Amino acid sequence: MPSKSALKNQETYLEYWKGVQLLHHDRSYFAKYVRGATLSPTEKTLLEARRLIIDHEWKEAIELLDRASPQEKTHRAERDYLIGEAFNRLGDTRKGFEYTRRAIPLYRELGDFPGSFQGMFLLAINLHSQGMVEESEKLLTELEPLAKTPLQKHQIFREHQLCRVKLGRIPDLREILARLKAEMKGLPVRHRQITDHTIAYLLMMEGDFKAAIKQYGVCAKTYRSLSRINSKFWSTLLTTVIDNRTLPTPDTVIRRAPLFFHRYALIRELQAGDLERAKPHWRELQGLVPELFGELFEFRQEWAGRSAFGILVRRYRPGAEKTPKEPLQAASAELLEERLIQILRDAGSPVPKNKLIELLYGQPYDISLDSRFYKLVQRTKRRFAKTKILARAGAYRLE
C-alpha cells in the first residue's frame, strides 16, 4: 500500500502523466499543455526524453537523461525506465535490462501508481529478450492486477503467449491468433505493430514458416525503423531455411542493429565454412544475450533452436549432419496424424517431444524435424477436434 507521501506525489504526478498521454495521442496540443501545466524541471526533462524516444532519437534521449539527477522516487523510477526503454530500442537489451531492473524496486514500493505498470512490463520484455523466459512469465503474472486498461490487458496477454509458445504451453495456436487479431483493431499504431510481429513470431515458432514470411512481409510494408529491421531479418532467414539457399550480403537495414547483424553475419560465415570468422560473431552474441548463447554454436535454451536462426545454426555448424529439408520418413500426412494419436493414447502419460519425433519419423531426434512436427500437431488437432492434445513443458498428452 503506498504511503501518504506517495499518494500526495501521485496527485501532482498525474499532471506529468497527462502530458505523457497527450504526447502519444495528441501531439498538436502537447506543447501548449507543457507550457501551462505545473510541472517541475525534472518532469519537463522526462517528457522531453519521452518525446525523443517516440521520435526514434534514442541516443539523444539517453544523453539527456544521463544529465538528470531526480530526487523523487517516482522520478528516479521513470528516469531508469526511460533509459532502459531507449537502450532496448537501440538493440542493446543488456543495458536496457540493467536500467529497468534498477527501477523495479521503486515501482514495487509505489504500488498501483502511474508508470508502475509500464516500468515492470518493460522489465518482463527485457527478461524475455535475455533468454529468461520463465522469469518473464512470472513477472507478467505478477503484473496482471495492475493491468487496468484494454491496452494493458492486451499487452499482458500478448507477451504471455510469446513466453508460453517457447515453453511449449500453448494448447491451440488458432485461438490465440484469433484473439490477438481481434484485439489489435482498436490499438494505437505502435501497439498494432508489436502485435503484428508477435503473430509472425508465433507462426514461426509453431513451424508455419510460409505463413510467418507472409506476416513479416505485411509488417515490413506497414511499419518502419526497428520494425522493418525485424521483418527483414526474420523473413530473410525463413526463406533461407525453406529454400536452403545462401544468405545474401546484409543490407543497411540489417546492419543498423547489432543483435540482428551478428546473427545474420554468423550464418553467412557458417554457410561459407569459415569457422574462424564465425566465432567473433558468436562471442558478440554471448555478450549481448549471455542467458541464450552458450558454448560455441550451442544454445542454452531448447526453444531457441526452433526459430529460423536456430535451425540455420544447427544446419551449418561444424560437425552437423547434412539432412534433407524434408524428414526421411515417407509416411503420408494422414498416417502420421493417426500414429500420433495412437502413441499418445498408448502412453497414458506425457511423452517428451524428442521421443515423439523419433517414434513418428523413425530416426534419431534432430532439430530440423521440429517445424514438421509442430505442423503435424496442429493438423492432428484440427482433424481430431474431439480428442484434445495438451502440451506442457515440452511434453504432449491426451486430455
Residue 257 lies in a domain: yes
- The model scores a pTM over 0.95: no
Residue 183 lies in a domain: yes
Residue 325 lies in a domain: no
Q: What is the pLDDT of residue 139?
A: 86
234 in the same domain as 164: yes
pLDDT single digits (tens) 305-315: 778 888 889 88
Mean pLDDT of 131-150: 86
Residue 327 lies in a domain: no
Name the one residue in this structure whose C-alpha cell is 544454445: 299
Q: What is the pLDDT of residue 111?
A: 66
266 in the same domain as 216: no
Mean pLDDT of 155-167: 87
Number of domains in the chain: 4
The CA-to-CA distance between both ends of the chain, in Å, stands at: 42
Q: What is the pLDDT of residue 7?
A: 40
User: Last residue of a domain, which of 223, 242, 261?
Assistant: 242
117 grid coordinates: 505498470
199 in the same domain as 104: no
209, 230 Cβ separation under 8 angstroms = no
334 grid coordinates: 494422414
Residue 281's pLDDT band (boundaries 50, 70, 90)?
very high
Alpha-carbon span 388 to 338, nearest angstrom:
13
179 in the same domain as 125: no
Neighbours of 67 (CB within 10 A): 7
Q: Note the helical H segments in 26-92.
A: 27-36, 41-54, 58-66, 73-90
HSE-up of 323 (CA within 13 Å, CB side)?
Answer: 21
Q: Is 391 helix (H, G, I), strand (E, B) or coil?
A: strand
Cβ neighbourhood burial of 311 (10 Å; 0-12, 13-18, 19+)? buried
79, 53 Cβ separation under 8 angstroms = no
291 pLDDT higher than 50: yes
Mean pLDDT of 38-60: 86
pLDDT single digits (tens) 178-227: 889 898 888 877 788 888 888 988 888 877 888 888 888 888 777 665 56
Mean pLDDT of 259-278: 90
In which element (H, E) is residue 121 found? helix 116-129
What range does the domain containing 356 cover?
Answer: 333-398
Residue 24's pLDDT band (boundaries 50, 70, 90)?
low
172 in the same domain as 137: no
Torsion 153-155-157-160 (CA) sign: negative
Strands (E), 135-247: none
267 grid coordinates: 550464418
If you average pLDDT over every residue of the chain, what do you get?
80
Alpha-carbon span 190 to 224, nearest angstrom:
10
358, 364 Cβ separation under 8 angstroms = yes
82 in the same domain as 192: no
Cβ neighbourhood burial of 331 (10 Å; 0-12, 13-18, 19+)? middle
Alpha-carbon span 130 to 133, nearest angstrom:
8
Alpha-carbon span 167 to 134, nearest angstrom:
8
Choose among 33, 326, 338, 351: nearest CA to 168. Answer: 351
349, 397 Cβ separation under 8 angstroms = yes
356 in the same domain as 313: no
Side chain identity, residue 44: K
89 pLDDT higher than 50: yes
Q: What is the pLDDT of residue 264?
A: 92
381 in the same domain as 351: yes
Strands (E), 177-247: none
48, 39 Cβ separation under 8 angstroms = no
pLDDT single digits (tens) 322-339: 544 443 333 456 677 878
Choose among 82, 108, 107, 105: nearest CA to 95. Answer: 82
Q: What is the pLDDT of residue 5?
A: 43
What phi, psi does 48 have (nearest 5°)? -65, -40
143, 184 Cβ separation under 8 angstroms = no
Residue 191 lies in a domain: yes
290 in the same domain as 220: no
10 pLDDT higher than 60: no
Hey, what's the torsion of the CAs at 133, 267, 56, 224, to 10 degrees? -100
Residue 276's pLDDT band (boundaries 50, 70, 90)?
very high
303 in the same domain as 352: no
299 in the same domain as 250: yes
Residue 326 lies in a domain: no
